[in-house]
Each structure stands twice: as C-alpha cells, then as structure tokens.
C-alpha cells in the first residue's frame, strides 16, 4: 500500500511526532507532504522518511478563524490543492494527519479519486475551534473520509458530539518506542549537574508555552512548596504566544521565584530531561486529546501529575500509575508535589507501575499493527 501522508506543520508537535512513528513502516512506499517548511522536515529526513514541502507559505487560517477568514484563504489553497491532487494520483491512500490537512486531503480525495483516512489528534469543541472550523472539519470527514482514527475516547466522543459519524471512527492511542526512554544514571547525573539541579526536587513541565497549557498554574503551585522544589519549563511559544511567555517571566519575578524556575526553551533531549526530574506535571486548563507527555514520563519511570480532563483520564488512574488534579487548581497541584516530596516510597511504586503499564499499553509495534490492520481491512491491499 502506497500512502501519501499530509500534515500542515513545519514544526514538530504531538501530532507530528505520532506521524513519524506511523510513517516509518511505510517509508519505502510513502511520502509525507508538508504545508510548511521547518524542523519537522529535518526530523522526518533523519528518520529516512521521504518528505516534500508542498507550500511556500503557511496557511493563514487559525483554529478560531471565521467564515470570511476561511474564504480569504481559498486563493492560497488552490495551488497547494493542485500539487496534492497531482501527487495523490501516484498513491493508494491519502492520510490526513491534521485539520488543515483534512481540508486539502478531502478535496484531493474527491478530485484524485483516492480513499481518505483522517487521523484526529484534536478535541473538536468550541473551546479549541471556531464554529466555522468545526463545521468544516466534521462535514469533510463525514463526506469524504473512509476512516477516522481518533487518538483517544475523548477525541472520538467530541467528534461524534460535533456531528461526526460514529461508524467512521476507530480509537488508536499514540505509540512509543519504549527503548528511547531509558537513560543511564550517569547521564542523568551529568544533566542535573549541567543544569544546576543537584540536591533539588525537580518538577518538569514539557509543552509549548501557551495559556491553555497552564505553565502559570505550576508556577503558582511552586510558590506553595518548600524551597528545594525547582521547576523546569521545557518548550517555547508557537503561533504568536510570546505575550504569554513575558507574563510567565513577570509572574516568576513577582513571586520571587527567579532561582527556582528555569526556562529551557525547545529541547530535543526530552527523555533525558524527564529522567532528570522527580515529578512531571501536566497542567492543561482545557481537555487534552491525548497527552503524549504523560506517557513519555511514565516510560521514563517518573511519576506524573495530570489535569483531570480529556485524554489524560484514560492514561492515569489516580494514585495507581499517577496523580490527577482538578484543572486550574494550583493548591491541589501543590499538595501533590509536596506529597511526592515527602512520601518517596509510595511515589516510587506509582512510577514503577506507570512504566510497566505504559510499556505494554503504548508500545509502538502494537499500535502500528493496529493501524496496519485497519488500513488492510478497509482498503484490502
């Protein structure tokens, strides 16, 4: 089966990292078409996955765009669509990995007469998308997709509630290469020394810096913890969210936490950094569709505290393989941090449970087989 994967981003987010794992088994008979250039292209090339950038400038439509803004982008989409249609004729299946990819992929599916798969990595709700974008996504998926792969029950339920056809959907969680999350004690020690974290209780937050990701909640919780508790924020702003980064720095200064919060920016050594933490915090204020960071921390053998909403509730069983707290509640979060600081044996048992469960449940080989079975059954190639 020859697959044309489509993705809108030039930057590697959760959906893009998932796509790398899905595309790997097909790399001798697949192409990833991107709608923007950037480091994601380089990452695909490093994994020897064929990639081509189909657009010279990023699509202007945002998640909250209205109908007029969507219509204004049609002139920009026309040459991109023509390129995708021409390319799609050389492949058996179009696999749209993001919402903008769905728009182009659906039209290309019709014009090139190729079946369409839509991998849903979002919770399609008014919290995240404008009514116009919701309607477009659901209508196109219902009309053109032969299969909608949802990355969690939360994503699947939201799709159906937005008007999506339930019979199109299958739930497949993200897969992970388990061996990539093993870090030696010497490497951990070296990294802690390099970052000045020795003797600290380190709480890590791994996400792009954005208001709904809730870094401000973790900083507020830190102010309620003993002095040895230190926070590292790994990630940077995307999509014009630099104002929020400035607000975070102002919050840290106002609370006198300059020596206890480290902004590390975008990093590629995520497993090693997670291994250097004592606890990993997930603090999203809106429901996450899945929560890759949660599983990655589990695979690193680190305890996780996650916001109790969306896909996180499918990954974490409170006080069994992690901790759940009410989204937006910094006091609850502080209580969990302090519990982990004080009750080290119980916390270590929870982290061990998490690693064992995640290693079995989210192994990329198992997940890729699930996707292969779906594609084979659906398209009979």
Q: What per-residue confidence (pLDDT) applies to 68?
A: 46
Q: Are residues 323 and 220 in the same domain?
A: yes
| Overall domain count for the chain | 2
pLDDT mean over 204-224:
97
Q: Are residues 355 and 369 in the same domain?
A: no
Q: What angle do CA 121, 32, 72 make, to 5 degrees?
A: 70
Q: Are residues 8 and 156 in the same domain?
A: yes
Q: Are residues 77 and 11 in the same domain?
A: yes
pLDDT digits (tens, 9 = 90+) for 198-213: 999 999 999 999 999 9
Give, for 373, the enclosing helix (H) or strand (E). Answer: helix 364-379
User: Residue 328: helix, strand or coil by DSSP?
Assistant: coil
For tokens 């949660």, what's the residue?
294
The region of weakest confidence among 49-58, 114-123, 195-204, 259-268 is 49-58
Nearest alpha-carbon partner for 222 in 264, 188, 251: 251
CA distance 375 to 369: 10
CA distance 161 to 171: 15
Q: Crossing angle, helix 364-379 and helix 14-23, to 10 degrees?
A: 70
Q: What per-residue confidence (pLDDT) applies to 381?
A: 54
Nearest alpha-carbon partner for 347 in 319, 326, 324: 319
Q: Are residues 247 and 135 in the same domain?
A: no
Q: What per-residue confidence (pLDDT) applies to 74?
A: 57
Range of the domain at 189: 178-361
Name the strands in the sheet holding 201-206, side by side, starting at the edge strand that comes first in the sequence: 261-265, 229-234, 201-206, 279-281, 304-307, 323-325
Q: Are residues 304 and 275 in the same domain?
A: yes
* Bridge partners, 261 (sequence order): 231
- pTM: predicted TM-score of the whole model, two decimal places: 0.89
Q: Is it the case that residue 226 has pLDDT exceeding 80?
A: yes
Q: What per-residue confidence (pLDDT) applies to 128?
A: 79
Q: Residue 232: which CATH number?
A: 3.40.50.2000
Q: Are residues 265 and 279 in the same domain?
A: yes
């Amino acid at each position: 089966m020859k697959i044309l994967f489509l993705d809108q981003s030039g930057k590697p987010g959760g959906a893009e990292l998932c796509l790398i794992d899905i595309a790997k088994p097909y790399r001798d008979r697949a192409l990833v078409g991107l709608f923007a250039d950037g480091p994601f292209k380089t990452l695909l090339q490093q994994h020897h996955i064929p990639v081509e950038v189909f657009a010279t400038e990023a699509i202007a439509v945002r998640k909250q765009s209205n109908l007029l803004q969507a219509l204004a982008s049609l002139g920009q989409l026309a040459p991109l669509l023509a390129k995708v249609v021409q390319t799609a004729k050389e492949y058996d299946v179009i696999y749209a990995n993001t919402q903008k990819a769905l728009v182009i992929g659906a039209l290309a599916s019709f014009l090139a007469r190729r079946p369409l798969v839509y991998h849903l990595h979002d919770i399609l709700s008014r919290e995240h998308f404008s009514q116009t974008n919701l309607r477009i996504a659901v209508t196109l998926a219902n009309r053109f997709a032969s299969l909608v792969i949802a990355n969690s029950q939360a994503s699947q339920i939201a799709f159906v509630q937005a008007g999506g056809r339930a019979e199109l959907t299958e739930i497949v969680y993200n897969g992970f290469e388990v061996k990539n999350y093993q870090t030696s004690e010497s490497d951990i020690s070296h990294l802690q020394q390099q970052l000045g974290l020795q003797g600290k209780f380190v709480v890590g937050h791994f996400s792009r810096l954005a208001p709904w990701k809730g870094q401000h909640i973790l900083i507020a919780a830190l102010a309620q913890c003993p002095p040895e508790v230190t926070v590292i924020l790994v990630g940077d702003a995307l999509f014009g969210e630099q104002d929020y980064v400035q607000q975070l720095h102002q919050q840290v200064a106002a609370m006198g936490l300059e020596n206890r919060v480290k902004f590390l920016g975008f990093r590629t050594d995520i497993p090693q950094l997670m291994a250097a933490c004592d606890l990993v915090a997930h603090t999203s204020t809106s429901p996450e569709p899945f929560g890759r960071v949660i599983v990655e921390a589990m695979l690193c053998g680190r305890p996780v505290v996650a916001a109790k909403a969306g896909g996180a509730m499918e990954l974490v069983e409170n006080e069994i393989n992690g901790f759940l707290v009410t989204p937006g509640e910094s006091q609850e979060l502080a209580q969990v941090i302090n519990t982990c600081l004080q009750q080290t044996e119980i916390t270590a048992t929870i982290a061990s449970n998490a690693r064992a469960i995640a290693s079995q449940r989210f192994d990329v080989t198992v997940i890729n087989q699930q996707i292969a079975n779906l594609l084979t059954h659906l398209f009979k190639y």
